[in-house]
Homo-oligomer: A and B are copies of this chain.
Protein backbone atom coordinates (compact mmCIF):
# COMPACT_ATOMS: atom_id res chain seq x y z
CA UNK A 1 0.00 0.00 0.00
CA UNK A 2 1.20 3.48 -0.83
CA UNK A 3 0.08 7.07 -0.38
CA UNK A 4 1.59 10.02 -2.16
CA UNK A 5 0.69 13.31 -3.79
CA UNK A 6 -1.35 12.82 -6.94
CA UNK A 7 1.02 13.10 -9.88
CA UNK A 8 1.51 12.05 -13.44
CA UNK A 9 2.22 8.41 -14.08
CA UNK A 10 2.12 7.15 -10.53
CA UNK A 11 -0.50 4.43 -11.11
CA UNK A 12 1.33 3.32 -14.22
CA UNK A 13 4.63 3.23 -12.36
CA UNK A 14 3.19 1.03 -9.62
CA UNK A 15 1.67 -1.54 -11.93
CA UNK A 16 4.70 -1.43 -14.18
CA UNK A 17 6.89 -2.30 -11.20
CA UNK A 18 5.18 -5.68 -11.17
CA UNK A 19 4.92 -6.33 -14.86
CA UNK A 20 8.56 -5.62 -15.67
CA UNK A 21 9.55 -8.25 -13.11
CA UNK A 22 7.25 -10.84 -14.67
CA UNK A 23 4.74 -10.72 -11.82
CA UNK A 24 0.95 -10.96 -11.97
CA UNK A 25 -1.31 -8.44 -10.25
CA UNK A 26 -3.99 -10.25 -8.27
CA UNK A 27 -5.77 -7.20 -6.97
CA UNK A 28 -5.34 -3.49 -7.55
CA UNK A 29 -7.40 -0.75 -6.00
CA UNK A 30 -6.84 2.94 -5.65
CA UNK A 31 -8.49 6.00 -4.21
CA UNK A 32 -7.88 9.59 -5.14
CA UNK A 33 -8.81 12.22 -2.62
CA UNK A 34 -9.56 15.03 -5.01
CA UNK A 35 -9.73 17.57 -2.15
CA UNK A 36 -6.24 16.96 -0.84
CA UNK A 37 -5.00 15.75 -4.25
CA UNK A 38 -3.48 12.72 -2.63
CA UNK A 39 -3.31 9.30 -4.24
CA UNK A 40 -3.71 6.02 -2.37
CA UNK A 41 -3.26 2.54 -3.83
CA UNK A 42 -3.19 -1.05 -2.73
CA UNK A 43 -1.74 -3.73 -4.96
CA UNK A 44 -1.43 -7.46 -4.37
CA UNK A 45 0.68 -9.52 -6.73
CA UNK A 46 2.36 -12.86 -7.22
CA UNK A 47 5.99 -12.74 -8.12
CA UNK A 48 6.08 -15.24 -10.97
CA UNK A 49 9.65 -16.25 -11.83
CA UNK A 50 11.21 -13.38 -9.94
CA UNK A 51 13.67 -14.93 -7.48
CA UNK A 52 14.97 -11.66 -6.04
CA UNK A 53 15.45 -11.54 -2.32
CA UNK A 54 12.94 -9.55 -0.31
CA UNK A 55 15.67 -7.07 0.48
CA UNK A 56 16.29 -6.48 -3.18
CA UNK A 57 12.62 -5.99 -3.92
CA UNK A 58 12.39 -3.48 -1.10
CA UNK A 59 15.46 -1.67 -2.35
CA UNK A 60 14.05 -1.46 -5.88
CA UNK A 61 10.62 -0.46 -4.60
CA UNK A 62 12.19 2.44 -2.73
CA UNK A 63 14.40 3.47 -5.61
CA UNK A 64 11.78 3.25 -8.34
CA UNK A 65 8.63 4.29 -6.52
CA UNK A 66 9.01 5.63 -2.99
CA UNK A 67 11.69 8.19 -3.70
CA UNK A 68 10.61 9.46 -7.13
CA UNK A 69 7.00 9.85 -6.03
CA UNK A 70 7.50 10.91 -2.41
CA UNK A 71 5.46 7.99 -1.11
CA UNK A 72 4.42 6.76 2.28
CA UNK A 73 4.44 3.01 1.90
CA UNK A 74 3.98 -0.49 3.33
CA UNK A 75 5.29 -3.66 1.70
CA UNK A 76 4.30 -7.08 3.01
CA UNK A 77 5.47 -10.54 1.99
CA UNK A 78 3.23 -13.56 2.55
CA UNK A 79 6.16 -15.50 3.94
CA UNK A 80 5.80 -13.40 7.08
CA UNK A 81 2.42 -14.21 8.56
CA UNK A 82 1.36 -11.61 11.10
CA UNK A 83 1.98 -12.36 14.77
CA UNK A 84 -1.09 -11.46 16.78
CA UNK A 85 -1.63 -11.01 20.51
CA UNK A 86 -5.13 -11.09 21.95
CA UNK A 87 -6.10 -9.34 25.15
CA UNK A 88 -9.14 -10.78 26.88
CA UNK A 89 -10.94 -10.58 30.16
CA UNK A 90 -13.61 -13.24 30.52
CA UNK A 91 -15.52 -13.24 27.23
CA UNK A 92 -14.87 -16.36 25.14
CA UNK A 93 -16.78 -15.71 21.92
CA UNK A 94 -14.49 -13.15 20.34
CA UNK A 95 -11.39 -15.18 21.20
CA UNK A 96 -12.79 -18.34 19.62
CA UNK A 97 -13.73 -16.59 16.46
CA UNK A 98 -10.21 -15.19 16.09
CA UNK A 99 -8.71 -18.60 16.88
CA UNK A 100 -10.82 -20.31 14.26
CA UNK A 101 -9.82 -17.91 11.54
CA UNK A 102 -6.13 -18.37 12.16
CA UNK A 103 -6.27 -22.15 12.70
CA UNK A 104 -8.33 -22.74 9.59
CA UNK A 105 -5.99 -20.66 7.48
CA UNK A 106 -8.51 -17.94 6.65
CA UNK A 107 -5.90 -15.42 7.71
CA UNK A 108 -2.19 -15.50 7.14
CA UNK A 109 -1.51 -15.03 10.85
CA UNK A 110 -0.60 -16.79 14.07
CA UNK A 111 -1.97 -16.09 17.50
CA UNK A 112 1.31 -15.90 19.36
CA UNK A 113 0.02 -15.22 22.85
CA UNK A 114 -2.95 -14.22 24.96
CA UNK A 115 -2.88 -11.56 27.65
CA UNK A 116 -5.56 -11.32 30.31
CA UNK A 117 -6.34 -9.49 33.51
CA UNK A 118 -8.22 -12.59 34.69
CA UNK A 119 -7.18 -16.24 34.90
CA UNK A 120 -10.51 -17.63 33.68
CA UNK A 121 -9.67 -18.35 30.07
CA UNK A 122 -6.32 -20.03 30.70
CA UNK A 123 -7.75 -23.54 30.09
CA UNK A 124 -9.01 -22.47 26.68
CA UNK A 125 -5.57 -21.13 25.78
CA UNK A 126 -4.09 -24.46 26.85
CA UNK A 127 -6.53 -26.37 24.67
CA UNK A 128 -5.07 -24.56 21.69
CA UNK A 129 -1.49 -24.63 22.92
CA UNK A 130 -1.20 -20.85 23.12
CA UNK A 131 0.78 -19.15 25.90
CA UNK A 132 -1.54 -17.35 28.33
CA UNK A 133 -0.14 -14.46 30.32
CA UNK A 134 -2.13 -13.45 33.35
CA UNK A 135 -1.53 -9.89 34.57
CA UNK A 136 -3.58 -9.03 37.65
CA UNK A 137 -4.30 -5.33 37.38
CA UNK A 138 -5.18 -2.64 39.86
CA UNK A 139 -4.62 1.07 40.14
CA UNK A 140 -1.38 0.64 42.01
CA UNK A 141 0.33 -1.77 39.65
CA UNK A 142 -1.12 -0.70 36.32
CA UNK A 143 1.87 1.32 35.17
CA UNK A 144 4.41 -1.41 35.85
CA UNK A 145 2.20 -4.22 34.58
CA UNK A 146 1.65 -2.37 31.30
CA UNK A 147 5.40 -1.91 30.95
CA UNK A 148 5.80 -5.68 31.35
CA UNK A 149 3.06 -6.25 28.76
CA UNK A 150 4.78 -3.98 26.25
CA UNK A 151 8.06 -5.86 26.84
CA UNK A 152 6.29 -9.17 26.29
CA UNK A 153 4.68 -7.96 23.07
CA UNK A 154 7.92 -6.59 21.72
CA UNK A 155 9.97 -9.66 22.63
CA UNK A 156 7.40 -11.76 20.79
CA UNK A 157 7.60 -9.49 17.75
CA UNK A 158 3.86 -8.89 17.86
CA UNK A 159 2.48 -7.13 14.78
CA UNK A 160 -1.09 -6.65 15.93
CA UNK A 161 -2.79 -6.45 19.32
CA UNK A 162 -6.51 -7.22 19.44
CA UNK A 163 -8.53 -6.10 22.44
CA UNK A 164 -11.25 -8.74 22.37
CA UNK A 165 -13.55 -7.43 25.10
CA UNK A 166 -10.57 -6.57 27.28
CA UNK A 167 -12.24 -4.66 30.07
CA UNK A 168 -9.38 -2.28 30.71
CA UNK A 169 -8.53 1.17 29.48
CA UNK A 170 -5.01 0.96 28.12
CA UNK A 171 -2.76 3.95 28.68
CA UNK A 172 -0.56 5.98 26.40
CA UNK A 173 2.55 3.97 27.32
CA UNK A 174 0.87 0.86 25.96
CA UNK A 175 -0.60 2.50 22.88
CA UNK A 176 2.31 4.52 21.55
CA UNK A 177 4.59 1.62 20.54
CA UNK A 178 1.73 0.06 18.61
CA UNK A 179 0.23 3.01 16.82
CA UNK A 180 -2.47 1.86 14.36
CA UNK A 181 -1.72 -1.70 15.42
CA UNK A 182 -4.16 -2.09 18.33
CA UNK A 183 -7.73 -2.91 17.36
CA UNK A 184 -10.61 -2.65 19.82
CA UNK A 185 -14.25 -3.68 19.63
CA UNK A 186 -16.74 -1.27 21.14
CA UNK A 187 -20.18 -2.55 21.99
CA UNK A 188 -22.15 0.28 20.46
CA UNK A 189 -22.37 2.55 17.50
CA UNK A 190 -19.67 5.07 18.07
CA UNK A 191 -19.97 8.03 18.39
CA UNK A 192 -22.96 7.20 20.56
CA UNK A 193 -23.24 5.56 23.93
CA UNK A 194 -19.61 6.21 24.77
CA UNK A 195 -19.26 4.43 28.07
CA UNK A 196 -20.77 1.53 29.90
CA UNK A 197 -23.84 -0.71 29.67
CA UNK A 198 -24.99 0.32 26.19
CA UNK A 199 -27.44 -2.57 25.89
CA UNK A 200 -29.24 -1.53 29.05
CA UNK A 201 -29.30 2.07 27.82
CA UNK A 202 -30.63 0.84 24.48
CA UNK A 203 -33.39 -1.17 26.13
CA UNK A 204 -34.47 1.73 28.33
CA UNK A 205 -34.57 4.20 25.41
CA UNK A 206 -36.46 1.75 23.21
CA UNK A 207 -33.93 2.01 20.43
CA UNK A 208 -34.63 -0.12 17.38
CA UNK A 209 -31.02 -0.83 16.47
CA UNK A 210 -27.97 -2.01 18.37
CA UNK A 211 -24.53 -1.50 16.94
CA UNK A 212 -20.88 -2.38 17.28
CA UNK A 213 -17.77 -0.51 16.19
CA UNK A 214 -14.23 -1.72 15.70
CA UNK A 215 -11.50 0.90 15.66
CA UNK A 216 -7.83 1.51 16.19
CA UNK A 217 -7.00 2.51 19.72
CA UNK A 218 -5.74 6.02 20.25
CA UNK A 219 -4.97 7.91 23.41
CA UNK A 220 -8.30 9.68 23.23
CA UNK A 221 -10.85 7.09 24.42
CA UNK A 222 -13.03 5.47 21.73
CA UNK A 223 -12.04 8.14 19.21
CA UNK A 224 -9.59 6.27 16.96
CA UNK A 225 -10.12 5.61 13.24
CA UNK A 226 -13.12 3.39 12.65
CA UNK A 227 -12.45 0.23 10.63
CA UNK A 228 -15.84 -1.50 10.67
CA UNK A 229 -19.32 -0.93 12.05
CA UNK A 230 -22.61 -2.73 11.84
CA UNK A 231 -26.05 -2.80 13.40
CA UNK A 232 -28.91 -5.20 14.11
CA UNK A 233 -32.61 -4.38 14.15
CA UNK A 234 -34.18 -5.13 17.54
CA UNK A 235 -37.61 -4.64 19.04
CA UNK A 236 -39.35 -4.01 22.35
CA UNK A 237 -39.63 -7.74 23.04
CA UNK A 238 -35.92 -8.19 23.50
CA UNK A 239 -34.77 -8.22 27.13
CA UNK A 240 -31.39 -6.71 28.03
CA UNK A 241 -30.05 -10.27 28.25
CA UNK A 242 -31.09 -11.05 24.68
CA UNK A 243 -29.69 -7.72 23.50
CA UNK A 244 -26.39 -8.66 25.13
CA UNK A 245 -26.41 -12.03 23.39
CA UNK A 246 -27.31 -10.54 20.01
CA UNK A 247 -24.76 -7.81 20.58
CA UNK A 248 -22.06 -10.38 21.30
CA UNK A 249 -22.61 -11.99 17.90
CA UNK A 250 -22.57 -8.61 16.25
CA UNK A 251 -19.36 -7.58 18.03
CA UNK A 252 -17.68 -10.83 17.04
CA UNK A 253 -18.59 -10.30 13.42
CA UNK A 254 -17.50 -6.65 13.35
CA UNK A 255 -14.22 -7.40 15.13
CA UNK A 256 -13.45 -10.25 12.72
CA UNK A 257 -14.15 -7.96 9.82
CA UNK A 258 -11.83 -5.27 11.16
CA UNK A 259 -9.01 -7.68 12.03
CA UNK A 260 -9.37 -9.38 8.63
CA UNK A 261 -9.16 -6.06 6.81
CA UNK A 262 -6.04 -5.18 8.79
CA UNK A 263 -4.35 -8.56 8.31
CA UNK A 264 -5.12 -8.54 4.60
CA UNK A 265 -3.56 -5.08 4.47
CA UNK A 266 -6.70 -3.36 3.33
CA UNK A 267 -6.67 -0.44 5.79
CA UNK A 268 -4.75 2.78 5.36
CA UNK A 269 -4.97 5.60 7.88
CA UNK A 270 -5.01 9.10 6.47
CA UNK A 271 -5.34 11.98 8.91
CA UNK A 272 -7.36 9.99 11.42
CA UNK A 273 -9.73 8.48 8.84
CA UNK A 274 -9.53 4.95 7.57
CA UNK A 275 -9.44 4.22 3.87
CA UNK A 276 -10.66 0.67 3.30
CA UNK A 277 -9.54 -1.08 0.11
CA UNK A 278 -12.25 -3.69 0.06
Q: Are A207 and B192 in contact (CB under 8 A)?
A: no
In Å, the complex CA distance between A206 and B34 comes to 16
Min CB gap A256→B, angstroms: 7
Within the complex, which residue of B92, B93, B237 is in contact with A31, where a contact is CB–CB below 8 Å? B237
Is A116's beta carbon under 8 Å from chain B?
no
In Å, the complex CA distance between A256 and B245 comes to 12
Q: Which residues of A75-129 have CB atoms within 8 Å of chain B's CB atoms?
A: 92-93, 96-97, 99-101, 103-104, 106, 127-128
In Å, the complex CA distance between A24 and B103 comes to 44
In Å, the complex CA distance between A261 and B205 comes to 18
Q: Are A209 and B211 in contact (CB under 8 A)?
A: yes
Which residues does chain B contribute within 8 Å of A193, judged by CB atoms?
Answer: 191-192
Q: Would you give the 0/1 interface string for A1-24, flagging 1 where the beta carbon is closer than 8 Å to chain B?
A: 000001011111001100000001
Is A160's beta carbon under 8 Å from chain B?
no
**In the complex, which range does the number of interface residues on chain A fall in?**
35 or more
- Pick the interface stretch among A146-154, A167-175, A227-235: A227-235
Min CB gap A129→B, angstroms: 9
Q: Are A231 and B231 in contact (CB under 8 A)?
A: yes
Q: Which residues of A212-226 have CB atoms within 8 Å of chain B's CB atoms?
A: 225-226
**Which residue of chain B has the shortest Cβ distance to A30 in the bound complex?**
B30
Min CB gap A215→B, angstroms: 9
Min CB gap A48→B, angstroms: 13
Q: Are B30 and A34 in contact (CB under 8 A)?
A: no
Which residues does chain B contribute within 8 Å of A204, judged by CB atoms?
Answer: 273
Q: Which residues of A15-43 have CB atoms within 8 Å of chain B's CB atoms?
A: 15-16, 24-32, 34
Q: Which residues of A233-256 have CB atoms within 8 Å of chain B's CB atoms?
A: 233, 235-237, 239, 245, 249, 253, 256
Q: Are A235 and B276 in contact (CB under 8 A)?
A: yes
Which residues does chain B contribute within 8 Å of A127, judged by CB atoms?
Answer: 127-128
Min CB gap A99→B, angstroms: 8
Is A177's beta carbon under 8 Å from chain B?
no
Is A208's beta carbon under 8 Å from chain B?
yes
Q: When A and B form their complex, which 5 residue pairs have the shortest distance between CB atoms, in order from nearest?
A: A192-B192, A206-B273, A11-B11, A96-B100, A9-B12
- Sampled A-B contacts (10; CB under 8 Å): A9-B9, A27-B239, A96-B96, A97-B97, A190-B207, A205-B273, A206-B274, A208-B226, A209-B211, A236-B276
Given A235-B276, A236-B275, 20 more pairs with CB closer than 8 A: A9-B12, A10-B12, A27-B34, A29-B237, A30-B30, A92-B104, A96-B99, A97-B100, A106-B245, A189-B209, A191-B201, A204-B273, A206-B226, A206-B273, A206-B274, A209-B230, A231-B231, A235-B278, A236-B276, A249-B253
